[in-house]
């Protein structure tokens, strides 16, 4: 029997590789067009100084040393697991192709690595990068994670993404046309968005040629532009109850085969301004499981009925 009422990434990896596989999060020293002045200097409004790589390896270390350090921590829990090298921090296709090859190939050489996960932006996919990703996809297990956050251009402009929804669709289509697995990221609780607008994003995602989805809760972190905005213009942060209910609503309309990489996330505890209930990640995940049982529902229930 499946361990959850939705298709977890953990379950998918166990089925594919026959054993536990976990991500080793790496910080390869990339930047972002929202950081280097191409589009901006401050990053997306919610993004931390580590470019959403707060739990990744230490940037000053080589890929080999980062990998060894993070792997050793994780091995205490899963001593016989395999690994995905996860290029997480900042924009991980935003560099010359020679540099990408050096980093990706180095990570694939690490003992126990069975594939790659590369987090990037839809507007940072040059022809050279797409060609190389296609090559990688033919010889290893590959995911490309694309930040979307919302389908509403008004929101994308406010949070400083530097691209619109149409650019996301173009980037997705280029990857999909090469047979590359894509996981989209969306954020719930963005300022000014109603539940209906968040569901519109989820409904659009459900109809796209995506193989995976990460659902994030908006975190207000110290030192971010969002924290400064929140101090001057306080807005309502999502309650745990509203978040759990909305996640279940979203799961119901997603394709039953879509792989759910994440249903909530972690903010660095010392930097988290809110929502403070999100510190207890496992309580949130357990509440989602309980709500699915309470409603007698599951991923794809409404998608199937439609």
Residue 71 counted as domain residue: yes
Give me the residues paired with residue 287 across strands.
none
Residue 305 counted as domain residue: no
Residue 306 counted as domain residue: no
**220 lies in which domain range?**
9-295
Q: How far apart are CA 161 and CA 275, in angstroms?
A: 22
CB 252 within 8 A of CB 303: yes
Residue 126 counted as domain residue: yes
Residue 188 counted as domain residue: yes
DSSP state of 264: S
Averages of pLDDT over each 10 residues, the chain, 306 residues:
84 95 89 88 80 58 84 79 92 95 95 95 96 98 97 96 96 98 98 97 98 97 94 96 98 97 88 94 96 96 75
Q: How far apart are CA 37 and CA 121, in angstroms?
A: 16
Residue 43 counted as domain residue: yes
In this predicted structure, what is the pLDDT of residue 265?
A: 81
In this predicted structure, what is the pLDDT of residue 16?
A: 96
Total domains, the chain: 1
pTM of the model: 0.93
In this predicted structure, what is the pLDDT of residue 74?
A: 76
In this predicted structure, what is the pLDDT of residue 1?
A: 42
In this predicted structure, what is the pLDDT of residue 306?
A: 52
Residue 304 counted as domain residue: no
Residue 1 counted as domain residue: no
In this predicted structure, what is the pLDDT of residue 60?
A: 74
Query: Phi and psi (nearest 5°) for 17?
Result: -105, -10
- Give the CATH number for residue 200: 3.20.20.70
């Amino acid at each position: 029997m499946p361990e959850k009422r939705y298709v977890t990434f953990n379950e998918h990896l166990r089925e594919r590789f026959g054993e536990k596989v976990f991500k080793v999060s790496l910080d390869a020293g990339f930047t972002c067009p929202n950081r280097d002045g191409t589009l901006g200097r401050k990053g997306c409004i919610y993004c931390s100084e580590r470019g959403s790589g707060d739990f990744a390896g230490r940037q000053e270390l080589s890929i080999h040393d980062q990998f060894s350090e993070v792997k050793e921590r994780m091995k205490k829990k899963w001593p016989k697991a395999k690994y995905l090298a996860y290029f997480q921090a900042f924009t991980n296709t935003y560099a010359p192709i020679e540099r990408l090859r050096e980093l990706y190939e180095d990570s694939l050489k690490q003992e126990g690595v069975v594939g790659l996960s590369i987090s990037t932006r839809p507007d940072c996919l040059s022809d050279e990068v797409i060609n190389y990703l296609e090559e990688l996809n033919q010889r290893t297990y590959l995911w490309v994670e694309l930040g979307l956050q919302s389908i509403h251009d008004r929101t994308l402009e406010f949070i400083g993404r530097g691209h619109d929804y149409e650019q996301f669709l173009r980037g997705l289509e280029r990857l999909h046309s090469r047979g590359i697995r894509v996981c989209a990221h969306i954020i719930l609780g963005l300022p000014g968005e109603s539940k209906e607008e968040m569901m519109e994003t989820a409904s659009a995602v459900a109809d796209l040629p995506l193989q995976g989805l990460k659902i994030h809760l908006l975190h207000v972190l110290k030192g971010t532009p969002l924290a400064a905005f929140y101090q001057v213009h306080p807005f309502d942060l999502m309650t745990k109850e509203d978040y759990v209910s909305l996640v279940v609503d979203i799961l119901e309309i997603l394709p039953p085969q879509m792989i759910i990489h994440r249903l909530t996330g972690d903010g660095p505890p010392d930097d988290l301004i809110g929502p403070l209930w999100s510190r207890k990640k496992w309580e949130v995940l357990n509440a989602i499981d309980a709500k699915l049982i309470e409603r007698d529902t599951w991923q794809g229930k409404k998608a199937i009925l439609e």
